[in-house]
Amino acid sequence: MALYQKLPIEIEAELVSELLEKFKHNFKELPRWVIEAYENTTINTVTDNDFIIKTLEGNMTATKEDYLIKGVNGELYPCKKDIFEKTYVAVK
């Protein structure tokens, strides 16, 4: 069996619960990449508890308990908080 380790690359990510608050109360405080994703409908159907993301694998729901990740090629996808915290560490 082969073993692999993730390369040490930086990604952008935000807690969905924080993004939902900004969508609701101050859209201009959202990160630019989130605003762009909303404007081009990659992020859509925003509710108080979640939103839909068009991903490479099809539409996915990002809930308050998830992180929204911008991948190395600009793709967006949700990640469960517990998995995110086991996989990533803050660099800034």
46, 41, 42: which is closest to 75 by C-alpha?
Answer: 42
pLDDT confidence of residue 5: 86
Q: With 90 as the cut, is the pLDDT of residue 8 above it?
A: no
Ranges assigned E (strand) in 24-89: 43-44, 50-55, 58-63, 66-70, 76-80
Please report, to the nearest 10 degrees, the dihedral formed by the alpha carbons of residues 10, 38, 49, 17 taken in order. Answer: 30
Q: With 90 as the cut, is the pLDDT of residue 37 above it?
A: yes
Cα Rg of the chain (Å, integer):
14
The span from the CA of 27 to the CA of 91, in Å, is: 25
pLDDT confidence of residue 68: 98
Q: With 90 as the cut, is the pLDDT of residue 7 above it?
A: no
Q: With 90 as the cut, is the pLDDT of residue 92 above it?
A: no
Q: Enter the pTM of the model.
A: 0.90
Sign of the alpha-carbon dihedral angle for 5, 54, 43, 46: negative
